[in-house]
A and B are shown apart, each in its own frame.
Chain A
Amino acid sequence: MADVAGSIKNDTVGPAQWSRGRVALALVAVAVFLTLLHYAGLLPDWLFRIPESMIPPFAGWLDAIFNFVKDDLGLLKLTRTLTEGLEWLLDVTANLMFGKRRWPHIGPIPWTAVAGVAAVIGYYLGGWRMAALGAGTFIWTALIGQWKIAMETMSVLMVAAPLAFFIGLTLGILAWKYTWVNRTIKPVLSVLQTLPFFTYLLPAVIFFKVGPTAGAVATTIYAIPPMILMTTLGLQKVSPEVVEAGNMSGCTKWQLLRHVYLPSARTEILVGVNQVIMLCLAMVVLTAFIGMPGLGAKLLAMMGSFKLGRSFEIGVTIVLLAVMLDRMSKAWVVKQPEHFERGTPWWRRHAILLTGVAVFVFFCILAQFVDLAAEIGRKQNFSQGKEIDTLIKGFLALEPVQATTGAIRYVLNVWILNPFRDFLLSIPTPAFIMLIVAFALSLGGKKPAIYGAIFFSLVALSGWWDRSVITLYSVISAVSLALLIGVPLGIVAARSEKWSQRVLLACDTAQTFPSFIYLIPAIMLFGITATSVVMSILIFAMVPLIRYTIEGLRTVPPEMTEAADMSGATRMQKLWNVQLPLALPTMAVGFNQAIMFAFFMVIIAAFIGTQDLGQELQRTLAGTDLGKNFVLGICVSLMALTFDLTIMQWASDQKKALGLPD
């Protein structure tokens, strides 16, 4: 695979490539030399790691800036005022969903009414199957006895998602309208998207108090970027003729935006809505780390105390919610308006709405008389937490299972992971940076190489080098393992249309799960150990790898494979010489996503107990160490960005060289 890629590159780029390759090679040589010197004990200490005395106090500087903005500029006052508005909103939704004794004293809405309305909405969007999914999700949640915690989560989601939508939409419109806004927003967005979520959490806590308010703010901010991107994209794609038609109809600027641009960009905007909802759900679960009650908090507690049965049940609830929200919002994207025949009576035109209202009212009234329809109490639920617990633990205690997991753990730890980590740590800092630069240079060219050099030097200067390397080690080892499993799986699945569809569907579904979920199977099998960390990253990162492998192979133009067939290529020859080289750029996108996912997951997995940046980050959450929190977060972001820039550059170069559409 590598030499195929190499030959393509040389064919298309020519002599400039050679010098690029030579520079990279020279860098590697120097790096190897430095490392060998270090092994021989000849390398001076200041070349191995940057001495403490030379590390600038970034955290202190950032703290000073934050304090200035927070206190002197009065940002804290502003945000605390905002907090009140937000708290009011959260009170309303909380009251409606799980009914604390708060204003407006209406709720809680009986669970049967919620499930009924979900079924009606599901039916409207996607027929009976969607109706069953909508109702089923809520019925399960109620019966398993998680209604209250699920509604705690939902009540924050209901505030955060619309907020993120409106802010994203507005910023998206501004970025589309004014180039300077676009130019300012773009780099901020790409940093935001690689910033570990812990970095969102602490500022939220400091500026917006602990609990639901901070949770809602962090969730909102986290979900805004894709909405901005989708809005801008959609507005740019509106056909110029439609705009001209609007102009010729005498639209004012505002009318043009309101009646022509926004409705014509409906599809992209709704895709944005889908992403907002899914990111909100993913984040709102994670806000458990800053004391936001709900499904996430419960899951965290259950996993922490190794109550696998309950963890599993909560996991199912979260997955069901994710799948339901995703399917319904996606169905909304493709839902097109249909006309009614002339003379359809008004009640038929509004049949769905009327049914929805009727179902809601019916269950609300029913709940007044039948307690079970209003709430399912602790004693009445069907939770099998303890039983599942014993079952799983019994299964794990079985001799063959224990032997297998034990063996995997042993082999991974002793033979692969630990030696690899120690090796990475033994490379002198300058040599390490040179290796990264060589990697970026040979794949992406000059620009990623320069960025890589700057970014990693900053990481080195941050003073968290060892922990950064450990973070990187987890990412690299997990993604490599994921490559070994995911790519062959993808290749096999891509061989038949039917299996491609199935596996793609499974991958799409898996991608909607909040990342937290991926910890559950890893912990179940390997307990709370370092292996679990790698395993959960591995599962999480495998999804995009499989997905893009299939996509890349399936989108190879059929005339190419036919040409290979007619040239008498065997299946293997065809795969190696035609399909894989052409699919490689697309697969690289998947590889890139896998790395991004891995960086994300490695930070979450921190609570299992790792020695990387994630753990330090998590520690900062307990205090008010904003500067350190940011330094750590930016370290992760800088490393992720280096890979992102390099691989995406390579993928787009390759696509151009191969004449494939972007």
Chain B
Amino acid sequence: MSADTVISCKNAWKIFGPDPEGYLKTLPAGHSFDDIRADGYIAGVKDVSIDVSRGEMLVIMGLSGSGKSTLVRCFSRLHDITGGTITVEGQDIMSLSEKELIELRRNKMGMVFQSFGLLPHRSVLDNVAFPLEMRGQDKHARRERALEVIKLVGLEGREDYFPRELSGGQQQRVGIARSLAIEPDIWFLDEPFSALDPLIRREMQDEFLRLQAMLGKTIVFITHDFDEALRLADRIAIMKDGAVEQCDTPDQIVLNPATEYVRKFTEDIDKARVVHAGVLATSSDNGTGDPVDAKASVQDLARLLVQDTRAIIPVASDGKIVGGMDRAAALEILLEAS
């Protein structure tokens, strides 16, 4: 575990059933999800090992029932794991006492929920100030801080409204503001935009990217929408039946799907939009002429790829040449997409 690892999850298991611990002890290796179910247990999280580094946005992607929400709840210990270890900032969270856990949540973690999880009897201001109130901050200070985050999410002027008086998008802004009120280092978002209609969802994603650019938190983001995952993620972990099928950058997932299941997901994806020049700079030959930016997607470079005649195009990151891109390979990706 490097110094910059915020959450480290090693062989974590979460099993639901009458006697999960006892069952896990006797569980033979290689038992599949269906085998476990036949024994009357559900493997919510199945032998997951994953690290999240500081400032990274990890998106956990999977269909409903794949265990993604369970996994994130294990990170925050809303669920107790059955086996394995999860450390947060170097602390084994299963060894925390209730008091320490509450302290951790009060100071380090924020979470946004799919159906917002707002308290219906509290105004926007009181909802946002709720975590501050719980840790005993005085009324004046928490009001000030709450107003600050409300402004940050663009809900100024609605402080006195009650949740039911707001639209879905606005309610989720309250949820986001509340999760940010305590200035958490780690930010969990459990399908935050799934309950919103597509137009609002797009708007909220932009808003979210803007906030993240400003705040630079460590983020675990859950979604069942692959497009959303590709749009937001530094790394994507694809889950199926409680296990992580593949965890990698969007480019790699699209280019080199590890399993058949992942490949099916990527099938309909416009790869040219996902794959970046930096990933394709694999040639040892750096090529000649004007370099392209490593952050540019193949689609961004479409015109250049078609018109250029060089076999190898140099790729630069922050003004430094990092390698050469095979133009034919890049063209292949572009053509495959269209």
* Chain A residues with a Cβ under 8 A of chain B: 239, 241-242, 244-252, 255, 259-260, 263-264, 266, 336-342
Contact = CB atoms under 8 A, between A and B. Distances in A.
B214 to A, nearest CB: 22
Given A244-B78, A342-B157, 19 more contacts: A241-B116, A241-B117, A242-B118, A242-B119, A244-B113, A245-B111, A245-B117, A246-B119, A247-B105, A248-B105, A248-B179, A249-B131, A249-B178, A250-B103, A252-B102, A252-B134, A263-B121, A264-B119, A264-B120
Given A250-B135, A252-B102, A342-B157, A241 B113 contact: yes
A242 B162 contact: no
Nearest to B111: A248
Given A241-B116, A244-B78, A244-B111, A336 B164 contact: yes
A246 B179 CA distance: 11
A241 B120 CA distance: 12
Contacts of A247: 78, 105
Contacts of A337: 121, 123, 162
Given A242-B118, A342-B160, A250 B123 contact: no
A339 B103 contact: no
Nearest to A255: B134
Contacts of B121: 263-264, 266, 337
Nearest to A263: B121
A250 B120 contact: no
Interface in B203-225: none
Nearest to A266: B121
Given A252-B102, A264-B119, A245 B162 contact: no
Interface in B72-110: 73, 76, 78, 102-103, 105-107, 109-110
A263 B120 contact: yes
Interface in B115-145: 115-123, 130-131, 133-135
Contact of A250 (B102, B117, B164, B165): B102
Contacts of B49: none
Nearest to B103: A250
A263 B119 contact: yes
Which residue among B78, B116, B117, B119 has the maximum number of chain A CB atoms within 10 Å of its CB? B117
Nearest to A243: B117
Nearest to A344: B160
Nearest to B122: A263
A242 B119 CA distance: 7
A239 B119 contact: no
7 contacts: A241-B114, A242-B118, A244-B111, A248-B188, A263-B119, A336-B162, A337-B123
Nearest to B175: A245
B161 interface: yes
A247 B76 CA distance: 10
Contact of B105 (A250, A259, A338, A340): A250
Nearest to A341: B160
Interchain residue pairs A-B with the least CB separation, the first 7: A250-B106, A245-B117, A249-B131, A241-B117, A339-B160, A248-B111, A263-B121
B160 A340 contact: yes
A245 B118 contact: yes
B160 A239 contact: no
Nearest to A252: B102
A259 B78 contact: no
B78 A250 contact: no
Which residue among B119, B123, B175 has the maximum number of chain A CB atoms within 10 Å of its CB? B119
B120 A338 contact: no
B169 to A, nearest CB: 17
B119 A260 contact: yes
Contacts of A266: 120-121
A234 to B, nearest CB: 13
Contact of A239 (B107, B109, B115, B135): B115
A338 B109 contact: no
A31 to B, nearest CB: 46
